[in-house]
Structure 1
């Protein structure tokens, strides 16, 4: 694969709009209405790719999300000598059975938290090898120490120039011991998932003990489900505070990844804000393991009409969105910014809580969204774990996206209702949805 462009940080060859410094968004001239299909889940994509790379045999993964995060995951696996071929949105991955063909080199993870947290454990499973893992500037500011410390305790040698042990770091693999390892639950569920993915390749069964409550536990469950598809069956014990993983090897599997519910949420919110109708096919709300599906309950609480089909979800907006409530974002914090954008147009304030950990994502999302909403003349109250947004009429403004795909997509929703909204650096959406603005334009939103 091509080398990353250091001038554009984590943008990949799959990115779009990175040459555009700013876009202006105009409300639609008619009601937004459409039926769309989105690519596979980012979370499922990178879990499936790394597990398939560790497996024995060739896996067929349909519905791969072609975004920056997925690209850098594939790029790392290719540099490790894994045979990966792409046909549209289908990846064929010939696994290495836990023995990476290329045992040294530099691996760039971009701004992909999933790759930065899932790859180190997978590397450490090898009986020998030495790799330097690098990433974007922001990735270097995001925590990794709990995971790297756990891997060190299990036998890996890790050298990092940073006091908090983030990227860049060099990992020398010596295989993983079994037994027990401990991780905190409050900082990121990705630490737990990263160690779980590697655990079957430890020398003996490994039990991961979790200290404290787990933020976004659904993502840990997503990892466990993916492991079971590839033939490894962990057991959750001690009231969910420990997970026992048997020793073994993943076996190749062919799967179709369901659409990315996190991306779906922006289009359902678009329907809500514009009194429109958006139907997204390929989603069964009752069966999905993606926690952001929780937004449907909030949309109903705000007065929208939601239809949950066996293979689709349709949201129809309402003339006046309802507010006046508090919602915990603990399990589905990626949509905090989406709720904040919709709250601008509600009939009463909406408070979002239990989202302190999103201060350590692509940007400090709580601080950033408060700052941008204030530029619009919107009253907000910021707290350590969330914010309250008061309804108001947004004024025209140029908004910073903070190199954060979720900031850009959430703020764009305000432009679908109010004139004069301009977004800097729209290309940052390529992290998870490169064609986001093209999709908005196809639905009638003015993109200039």
Structure 2
């Protein structure tokens, strides 16, 4: 069977760290027994790119252990190197020689791939310096909004020319430093706009105060940014229950940091335990992590799984029959909406997921996309403006579209553990966050068939 996603992959966005790009489709084979394993997952994508950009802005040489070697981090490192920053990668460790907020290369073109973190974190860091840079990304990234961040940067002195669509890549940014002052930023679309300003804020000429209008849909990611800033010697001041954050002029100092595993990726492996009545322990992570997707284990517990929250690990034991019949807000852990949607057909009652409207603006419209693909499997599903309801059913074989979205591909692959004949187009898209995903399944004894 030959197939290609109707959402044609942007091959330029696939980095040398990607795998499976020569594969048309993938099928994860049904697994009759419970999957059992202890594993370690690579570092957090979100933490990796925060640490890399801060280290590049810092004074001195930093060591970042446990980086995620995926497309998003590859393009972040590539952009920093284009800017003249020396970054050496040894295994899963990056050694970064910071430039103290002064970019060595002040006139170049920077490519961000499909990485929202780079597209939202790098402009502020550039605007805090001096130079003129052109930023471009994949077709997918060029359709995602940047206006709230870029409008704030313009109000503080950055000059931005849009090459095509206003508020989107590609663009040219001309900078002579940031003035500082007050920035009002909406929190309803993405916390990355706020994080992008925070990362650059110590290098403004005056104190920068960020006021979040209406609250943030993902406040945990803002806390992750603040914690990473503190690890490099800058301490933001938080007021009004997190609605206002102030940063005085300062300089990041080089640091050595060890990154946690990526909890968003951990979720697929915990879900494997849930679906197969198996056991998966992931080492190097605790339930106290700030990464918001750790809420998934609470949902799995609600579905009948047994969770062990240990000192340095989280373990999920599956159940013979997943429980449904509930509604859950995905506001905090929206990246796991697709994961739960993939488990839901096998529950004993319908599951409704809410408060995830913003995932319509990620790599694809994830709500519509997962409803479409579940429908191809014969699963009854209702789409809502902010989520979906999935009913119990018996999925049948089908060729599914990954929508050039890593989370769609990995979530849909879970269903194959219980259903024969499911194939997913363009398995290479997983390289955005977990390039070796299918190899990891093989290592757990799960059959994987490529075409």
Q: TM-score, normalised by structure 2?
A: 0.97
Alignment equivalent of 1:20, drawn from 16, 23, 34: 23
- Cα deviations by residue, 1:165-204 (Å, 9 ceiling, x for unpaired): 1110000011000111111010100000000000000001
Shift of 1:443: 1.2
* Structure 2 residue aligned with 1:430: 431
Instruction: For 2:241 and 2:147, locate their aligned partners in 1 and report how far apart those are by CA, in whole Å.
Output: 26
CA contact (8 A) 1:129 1:174 kept: yes
* Structure 1 residue aligned with 2:6: none
Shift of 1:9: 3.1
CA RMSD of aligned residues (A): 0.9
Give yes or no for the alignment of 1:81 onto 2:95: no
Alignment equivalent of 1:236, drawn from 228, 235, 238: 238
Alignment equivalent of 1:266, drawn from 261, 265, 268: 268
CA contact (8 A) 1:30 1:444 kept: no
* Structure 1 residue aligned with 2:14: 11
CA contact (8 A) 2:163 2:172 kept: no
Instruction: For 1:379 and 1:7, locate their aligned partners in 2 and report how far apart those are by CA, in whole Å.
Output: 31
Instruction: For 1:213 and 1:96, locate their aligned partners in 2 and report how far apart those are by CA, in whole Å.
Output: 34
* Structure 2 residue aligned with 1:3: none
Please state whether the residue corresponding to 1:122 is helix, strand or coil: helix
Shift of 1:31: 2.1
Shift of 1:29: 4.3
Instruction: For 1:219 and 1:162, locate their aligned partners in 2 and report how far apart those are by CA, in whole Å.
Output: 30
- Cα deviations by residue, 1:403-427 (Å, 9 ceiling, x for unpaired): 0000000000000111111000000
Alignment equivalent of 1:69, drawn from 49, 67, 72: 72
Larger mean Cα displacement after TM superposition, 27-36 or 137-146 = 27-36
**Aligned pairs for 1:82-101 within 5 A:** 82-101=85-104
Q: 1:96 to 1:118 in 2, by over 3 A?
A: same
* Structure 1 residue aligned with 2:3: none
Alignment equivalent of 1:175, drawn from 174, 177, 202: 177
Instruction: For 1:47 and 1:8, locate their aligned partners in 2 and report how far apart those are by CA, in whole Å.
Output: 25
* Structure 2 residue aligned with 1:445: 446
- Cα deviations by residue, 1:341-384 (Å, 9 ceiling, x for unpaired): 01111000000000000000000000000000000000000011
Shift of 1:7: 5.9
CA contact (8 A) 2:10 2:138 kept: no
Instruction: For 2:147 and 2:34, locate their aligned partners in 1 and report how far apart those are by CA, in whole Å.
Output: 48
Alignment equivalent of 1:162, drawn from 156, 161, 164: 164
- Cα deviations by residue, 1:71-126 (Å, 9 ceiling, x for unpaired): 00000000000011011000000100000000011100000000000000000011
Shift of 1:289: 0.7
Alignment equivalent of 1:225, drawn from 224, 227, 231: 227
**Aligned pairs for 1:18-417 within 5 A:** 18-126=21-129, 128-286=130-288, 288-417=289-418
Unaligned runs of 5+ in 1: 1-5
The total of aligned residue pairs comes to: 441
Please state whether the residue corresponding to 1:183 is helix, strand or coil: strand
Shift of 1:28: 2.1
Shift of 1:164: 3.4
Instruction: For 2:211 and 2:27, locate their aligned partners in 1 and report how far apart those are by CA, in whole Å.
Output: 49
Instruction: For 1:272 and 1:431, locate their aligned partners in 2 and report how far apart those are by CA, in whole Å.
Output: 25
CA contact (8 A) 2:33 2:276 kept: no
Instruction: For 1:189 and 1:30, locate their aligned partners in 2 and report how far apart those are by CA, in whole Å.
Output: 40
Unaligned runs of 5+ in 2: 1-8
CA contact (8 A) 2:308 2:314 kept: yes
Please state whether the residue corresponding to 2:139 is helix, strand or coil: coil
Please state whether the residue corresponding to 1:46 is helix, strand or coil: helix
Shift of 1:27: 1.2
Give yes or no for the alignment of 1:420 onto 2:433: no
Instruction: For 2:139 and 2:66, locate their aligned partners in 1 and report how far apart those are by CA, in whole Å.
Output: 29
